Amino acid sequence: MTAHVLILGGTTEARALATALAARPGLRVTTSLAGRVSAPARLEGEVRVGGFGGADGLGAWLRDARVDALVDATHPFAAAMSTHAAQAAARTGVPMVALRRPGWSAGPGDVWHDARSLPEAAELLPALGHRVFLTTGRLGLGAFAHLTDQHFLVRSVEPPDPPLPPHTEVLLARGPFTPDGERELLRTHRIDVLVTKDSGGAATAAKLGAARELGIPVVVVRRPAAPPGVPSVADVAGVLAWLDGVV
């Protein structure tokens, strides 16, 4: 009997999980992507693109596709999707686990300022610097649009959505990034404050080390709370062990 696993993807870990599961006999693997990236990297197994229509739509899809296990491997800041997934899993009785890479922690020499949201991060900036390296992705940048005294270097994979701050330079790039490259970028653009989401992982962590070395303060937007009642694992191996117990 073939078991069907649905991965809510969009992360490096989701891609690695799809590869691992596709190599296992007796498993059908489908990865769902939101469709926000125009040219996603190739994935093993089946792929669907686009939203489900909230928790009800996802629940219907779980039933219709006869899904046996659901893995939420979305970005740590995809709070709405994670909430809908938890609700759909609870309503349908489909076992669910969240794959969440560990967040970042400040170390010796780091000058970090925590923020609970992008608007709160924007409030901190006037007191911290004037040349801002903004690496929070292409969505939600309107939270900074009222800051007219700062110059922003915005890095994202896809062009950011307006509105943007009036003094903005856009850099389109996809990680992983190197320590040498990040140091050079910060120096070249004369960055004096960095803003990032607590995405975790190694692909984009080099900027934090570069900021530490150059004495640049970092505003870290902390993750939203995870949906209650959903078990969480830190890596692909954790998901595989969990699946062995439910499938």
pLDDT of the residue at 204? 87
Q: In what order do the strands lie in the sheet with 3-8?
A: 46-49, 27-33, 3-8, 69-72, 96-99, 232-233
Do 213 and 116 lie in one domain? The reply is yes
Expressed as residue numbers, the domain containing 77 is 3-101+225-246
Do 61 and 137 lie in one domain? The reply is no
Do 84 and 164 lie in one domain? The reply is no
Do 116 and 137 lie in one domain? The reply is yes
User: pLDDT per residue over 138-156, tens digit each?
Assistant: 999 999 999 999 999 999 9
Torsion angle, CA of 18/43/28/84, rounded to 10 degrees? Answer: 70
Does 107 reside within a domain?
no
User: pLDDT per residue over 159-169, tens digit each?
Assistant: 998 999 999 99
Do 121 and 198 lie in one domain? The reply is yes
| Pairwise CA distance, residues 163 & 178, whole Å | 30
Q: Which of 223, 242, 245 is nearest to 232 (CA)?
A: 242
Q: Are 76 and 223 in contact (CB under 8 A)?
A: yes
Q: What are phi and psi of 114, to 5 degrees?
A: -80, 145
How many domains is the chain built from?
2
Does 202 reside within a domain?
yes
Do 235 and 192 lie in one domain? The reply is no
Whether the pLDDT of residue 106 is over 90: the answer is: yes
Global pTM exceeds 0.85 = yes
pLDDT of the residue at 247? 82
pLDDT of the residue at 112? 98
CATH code, domain carrying 186: 3.40.50
User: pLDDT per residue over 187-244, tens digit each?
Assistant: 999 999 999 999 998 888 999 999 999 999 999 999 998 899 999 999 999 999 999 9
Across 160-181, average pLDDT:
95
Does 106 reside within a domain?
no
Q: What are phi and psi of 170, to 5 degrees?
A: -105, 130
Does 13 reside within a domain?
yes
Token output for 162 = 């307006």
CATH code, domain carrying 20: 3.40.50.720
